Amino acid sequence: MTTPFTSGRLTLACALLLAASARAQTADPVVVAHTPEDAATTLLPGVMNRTTIVLDASHGGTDSGALIGEAGSNSVQEKNVTLALALKLQTLLTARGFTVVMTRTGDAAIKPSSPGAGMTLDDRAGIANHARAAACLLIHAAASGHGVHLYTSELDGVSAEAPLLQWSTAQAAWISSSAQLEKQLGDSLQLAGVPRTLSRASVRPVDSLTCPAIAIELAPESESALSVSDSGYQQRVAQGIASALEQWSKQVQPPPRVAPAPKPKPASIPTPAPAATPHPIQIPGAQP
C-alpha cells in the first residue's frame, strides 16, 4: 500500500472458521448479519474467544498489493511483507498460548468452499465473524510514512437499544473496544521503540467485522522504503503487538447487547356476540 488508509483503499482478508473455545466467555446476544445477502439479520450468541486472534496478511496470490521501492530488483511486493510479519506474529502468539486464525500461511488466501478460488472481502469478513476472536488484526504495508500506523473504524458506536446491525456497519458495536485495543497496541509499540500513529478510517470490509478490529500498516523504519522488509524491524513490531495482545486477552469484554426490535403484536379481532334467539310469536286462539 503506497498511502495510509486515509486514501480509502483497504483490502481485507480475515480468518478461517474456528469452533468456540473451551475458554469462551458468554454474554448477551448480539444481532448481526453474516452476509450482505441476509435479508433478515441473524441473532448470534455473544461469545468471545479470549485466546483467539485473527491475523490477516493482506493481498496474496495474483493480488500482490503495492510495489514498495523502485521497480526491478530494488523493490518488494506488499503481499510478501504482510505475510512475513503475520508469520512472525503467529509464532510469538502461539508461544503465548493463543489460537491464531491465519488468512493465509502461503502466497494466496483460498476460499475453503472452492479450492483454487480466492476469497472475496465479504467471504473473509463472514468467516472472521464466526471466529469470535478477541482481536482481528489486518496487516498492510506502505512505502510512505514512518513506523506503524494503526487504524480503527470511523463508525459511530451504537447504543444498547439499537434494533440491529447491518452488514456494512457491524463494527459499530465494537467501536469502543477497538479504540481501547488501538491504544494498548500503540503504547506497547512505543515501549518497543517503534514509532506509531493512531488514526481512524471507515473502509470496507473493516466496518463489517464483529470483533475488536485494527488495521495495522507497516511503514518504513528509515528513509529507505525497503526497510519494511527488514526482519529485525518486523520482529520488534511483532513483539510489541504480541505483548499488547497478551495483556488485552485478560481484560477484553464481550460485545454489548444489541437488542432486536420487538415484534409487533398481532391486532386482536373482537369475537362477535352470539346471535339472539328469537322469541316465538303468540297468536291468540292458536294451539301451542
Q: Does domain 23-251 have CATH number 3.40.630.40?
A: yes
Which pLDDT value is given to residue 242?
Answer: 98
Displacement of CA 184 from its chain's centroid (Å): 18
Taking 70 as the threshold, does the pLDDT of residue 15 lie above it? Answer: no
Taking 90 as the threshold, does the pLDDT of residue 22 lie above it? Answer: no
178-213 tens-digit pLDDT = 999 999 999 999 999 999 999 998 777 789 898 999
85-123 tens-digit pLDDT = 999 999 999 999 999 998 888 998 877 777 777 777 887
Average of per-residue pLDDT across 275-280: 56
Q: What percent of the chain has pLDDT over 90?
A: 45
Which pLDDT value is given to residue 196?
Answer: 96
Res. 8 pLDDT band, cuts 50 70 90:
very low
Average pLDDT of the chain? 77
53-87 tens-digit pLDDT = 999 898 988 899 999 988 777 899 999 999 999 99
How far apart, in whole angstroms, are the C-alpha atoms of residue 91 and residue 68?
25
Q: Which of 10-19, 139-148, 231-240 has the lowest mean pLDDT?
A: 10-19
Average of per-residue pLDDT across 34-42: 41
Res. 27 pLDDT band, cuts 50 70 90:
very low
Average of per-residue pLDDT across 30-37: 44
Res. 148 pLDDT band, cuts 50 70 90:
very high
Name the nearest CA neighbour of 65 among 228, 208, 236, 186. Answer: 228
How far apart, in whole angstroms, are the C-alpha atoms of residue 167 and residue 175?
15
The CA-atom distances, in angstroms, between 257 and each of 9, 27, 35, 233 are: 31, 8, 20, 40
Strands 148-152 and 196-200: parallel
